[in-house]
Structure 1
Amino acid sequence: MEFSEDNISRFRISFQNQEKHQEDVAVAFDEEVVTSHQLVVYNDEVNSFDYVIITLMEVCEHSPEQAEQCTLQIHFRGRCGVKSGDFDELVSMRNEICRRGISAEIESYQ
């Protein structure tokens, strides 16, 4: 492609339009408030490590390593956020974890 003055000026206009569009998108995104939710599992003195690990693998689709790490945090810190996402997505997981006798809640944060 040959660079004539006409091509360069069209490129500048196109580039300026792109920058304006990007700024508009950035402003719109900054104004949007996004609330996320986290499924938190709490420690207890009843359930075994293996039971909690298996539950996290089956309910939250964790890998064995991820489930083990979460279980260790639950044990030593008293709680662990095991899954983040939309409230509606997490409700069924929380219900199933609680049905299995493990304490869990959904917390929201911004």
Structure 2
Amino acid sequence: MDIKEKTLEKLLLKEEVVTQNEIVLFNDDVNTFDHVIDTLIAVCEHTPEQAEQCAILVHYKGKCTVKTGVYDDLKPRCSMLLEAGLSAEIV
């Protein structure tokens, strides 16, 4: 084994696996489209178009992934969605 192969082997071993989680928003019969859209813009940093598309998907499909990322970033966002009266969970 030459030096080049040993270096490549060390690099492959150091590769970090980043786990992506998702916030899934669920449909309910309580919140208005405007409230859901405004909340997604504020909490998940969606554009108005993204938020509207997610609200429509949630309404017709029952659920939609609204944000992906590392757990530590998603936890406070999910808490804010719940505090706003939306139904969401991290998966």
Q: Write the distance in 1 (CA, Å) between the matches of 2:23 and 2:44.
A: 10
Q: Write the distance in 2 (CA, Å) between the matches of 1:23 and 1:63.
A: 43
Q: Tell me which of 28, 31, 55 is aligned to 1:44.
A: 28
Q: Write the distance in 2 (CA, Å) between the matches of 1:95 and 1:54.
A: 16
Q: Write the distance in 2 (CA, Å) between the matches of 1:26 and 1:72.
A: 43
Q: Tell me which of 50, 69, 79 is aligned to 2:53.
A: 69
Q: CA deviation at 1:28?
A: 4.4
Q: TM-score, normalised by structure 1?
A: 0.71
Q: Write the distance in 1 (CA, Å) between the matches of 2:73 and 2:23.
A: 10
Q: Which amino acid aligns with 1:25?
A: L
Q: Write the distance in 2 (CA, Å) between the matches of 1:65 and 1:23.
A: 45
Q: Write the distance in 1 (CA, Å) between the matches of 2:11 and 2:31.
A: 48
Q: Tell me which of 46, 57, 69 is aligned to 2:41.
A: 57
Q: CA RMSD in A?
A: 2.0
Q: CA deviation at 1:35?
A: 2.2
Q: Write the distance in 2 (CA, Å) between the matches of 1:52 and 1:34.
A: 29
Q: Write the distance in 1 (CA, Å) between the matches of 2:8 and 2:54.
A: 39
How many residues were matched structurally? 89
Q: CA deviation at 1:23?
A: 5.7
Q: Tell me which of 67, 86, 89 is aligned to 1:102.
A: 86
Q: Kindly, what percent of the aligned residue pairs are identical?
A: 45
Residue segments in structure 2 that go unaligned for 5+ positions in a row: none
> What does 1:3-14 correspond to in 2, within 5 Å?
none
Q: CA deviation at 1:36?
A: 1.6
Q: CA deviation at 1:34?
A: 3.5
